[in-house]
Amino acid sequence: MFDIATQLFEGQDIRFGPIDYEKDPEVESRWTHNAGFMRLYEFEPARPMSAAIVKKQYEKLEKKIDEDKNLYHFMIRAKADDRLIGKAVIQRIEWANGNCSVRVGIGSTADQRKGYGTQALKMLLRFAFAELNLFRVSANVAEYNKGAFALMRKFGFVEEVRRRQALEREGRRWDLFVFGLLKDEWVNQVSA
């Protein structure tokens, strides 16, 4: 498992790549027209975004990465045909404490429930712990996001905080959970 020659950006069926300004905006624009996806991926109100808006967001994102130095952003692509299937992000890195927060999204309904999210999180955790040398990884999960709960359990994340009624959607309040995974917990897992 711990081998210097390990390809960090290659998974079984997916790979991580940079933003493609030619092709990606149109694909991601399509995802934003699916309110179901947006509501699972963001706590902000879902809203459709044109390819032009998505492109502007990519530019803003890359500028922020450059200036703040506390964010890593990967496009998830299918190895079979190189199409864009999602995004994997390490954000809010606190270098002095060794903390960060992760986010994975699989954009189109057709690509969901295929194990791509699991592969992406596996690569993301390896990158966070074995490349960035961080000490812990957090993830915020809304009560209604059952898929995310399953993913957290699969990787041994511990439910640490339950922020009661922190979200409102569909006319009712939902709790917001913070999950955490420590480096030694991850090391034990991957060495087992």
Partner 1 sequence: MRDLFRGELVRLTSEEPDARARIEVRWPLDTEFHRLADGDPAELTSQKKLKEEFEKRAEGGFTPERYFFCVRTLDDDKHIGFLSLWLDLIHGDVMVGVGIGERDYWGKGYGTDLMKLCLQYAFMELNAHRVSLGVLEYNPRAMRAYERAGFRLEGCTRKDLLREGKRFDSLWMGILREEWLQQQNGVKP
Alpha-helical (H) ranges within 42-191 are 51-68, 116-126, 146-154, 183-191
Among 3, 22, 44, 81, binds partner 1 (CB under 8 A): 44
Residues whose CB falls within 8 Å of the CB of residue 37, separated by 6 or more in sequence, listed in order? 31, 105, 107, 108, 109
Among 12, 97, 109, 133, binds partner 1 (CB under 8 A): 97
Site map (CB under 8 A) of partner 1, residues 3-42, x = contact = ----------------------------------------
| Dihedral angle over CA of 188, 99, 59, 23, nearest 10 | 10
Among 158, 188, 189, 190, binds partner 1 (CB under 8 A): 158
Site map (CB under 8 A) of partner 1, residues 48-87, x = contact = ----------------------------------------
Q: How far apart are CA 151 and CA 156, in angstroms?
A: 9
